[in-house]
Amino acid sequence: MKLTFWLCLMFIAYAYFGYAVYLWFYARLYKRPILQKPVTPSVSIVIAAHNEEKNLPAKLENLRSLDYPGDLIQIVIASDGSTDSTPEILREQGSPVIPVILDAAHGKASALNEAVKHATGDVLVFLDTRQIIAPNAISELVACFADPEIGAVSGELVLETATGIPSEDALGIYWTIEKIVRKLESASGSVVGVTGAIYAIRRDLYTNIPPGTLLDDVFIPMHIARMGKRVVFQPSAIARDQIFPETGREFSRKVRTLTGNYQLLKLAPWMLSPANPLLFRFISHKLLRLAVPLLLILLLLASAWTRGPVYQAAFWLQIFFYLLASFGILVPSFRKFKPVAIANTFVILNAAAALAFCNFVAGRDKVWV
């Protein structure tokens, strides 16, 4: 049981901290700068929407305020079986908006595939409806395509409170760490996944996404890296979003994302092939975190079963940590205390990973959440 304890502890530490430390050293030894300069290729903004009547007006206004040349922008929005006024709102729009109205909902992946059929730009920029992007976001994304090695560019998602202040809660801290990892991956080669709210690719590198795919923002960049192009992170291309005040809604989003990671193993088994240039990063960044819930259970059992002051102390520290998390769940006001917020978020994220595994095994993977 001692070996189990130390192996579990090692893999958990590597998944959350060790991989970032490794990247920090690797990026300094093998730094790969990006050749950036102002360029203005034709751009097709591609959006898949499902029942987005509340968000569409603000999104359309946001897109019309971009500082990119208007005659070089096309906006293609696919309504995927919407039952609200989304289709009517899209039909009312004039140029440069191109509505693609789909009668039945087949999921985001299928909607994107249909929308791309109407896209004529040299660069495809994928956005979601809810987030607001900065006026210079498109210009910042396409500047990276001055480098011929670059096939895809991820923007940065900034999480804010309802008052527009950058979030400092535990989820915001987690997202900050995630962005640090992406910056290090980008500086030394390619990122494993992009920010679904804002990313761009060269039009000729697009491949149809398998129907039902939950994570287009992982499938597409992994495919592009497989084709020999780099996928990089551009932190100056910003999209802003609010953290959901409802814990349950944020939890559902996380479960969907993690279920998508499991789903990729079935839809794109080549991701686990030695021929995948990002195999090590995919395992370190994505797959190991899916295994953490099991590792946490084994760590607790191993520390409870093994005699010795080190293992007993580890056991009671884990119990204390889970009690802090419980206080955060049962008494939300306790989350204003940083230790409680961190423990609460860590446990919720891993509970989401465990539920994602159950969803995947049971075949429960909703196309829209």
Task: Determine if the peptide bond prior to 96 is cis (ω within 30°).
Answer: yes
Q: Which is nearest to 80 in space by CA: 54, 58, 110?
A: 110
Going from the C-alpha of 82 to that of each of 79, 102, 107, 336, the distances in angstroms are 6, 8, 11, 38
Strand pairing class (97-102; 73-80) = parallel
pLDDT of residue 369: 45
pLDDT of residue 86: 95
Using an 8 Å Cβ cutoff, are 146 and 315 in contact?
no
pLDDT of residue 164: 57
pLDDT of residue 283: 95
pLDDT of residue 354: 92
pLDDT of residue 308: 94
Going from the C-alpha of 329 to that of each of 59, 169, 295, 333, 353, the distances in angstroms are 34, 14, 22, 9, 17
Q: What is the C-alpha to C-alpha distance for residues 308 and 36, in angstroms, rounded to an integer? A: 57
pLDDT of residue 176: 75
Assign 298 to helix, strand or coil. Answer: helix
pTM of the full predicted structure? 0.89
Alpha helices in the chain (DSSP H): 2-13, 19-29, 56-64, 86-91, 108-117, 137-143, 170-187, 216-226, 247-267, 279-282, 288-305, 309-330, 338-362
- The token pair at 238 is 């910003």
pLDDT of residue 141: 97
**Residue numbers in the chain where pLDDT is lower than 70:** 161-173, 243-250, 364-369
Domains in the chain, start-ordered, CATH in brackets? 2-16+282-362 (no CATH), 43-243 (3.90.550.10)
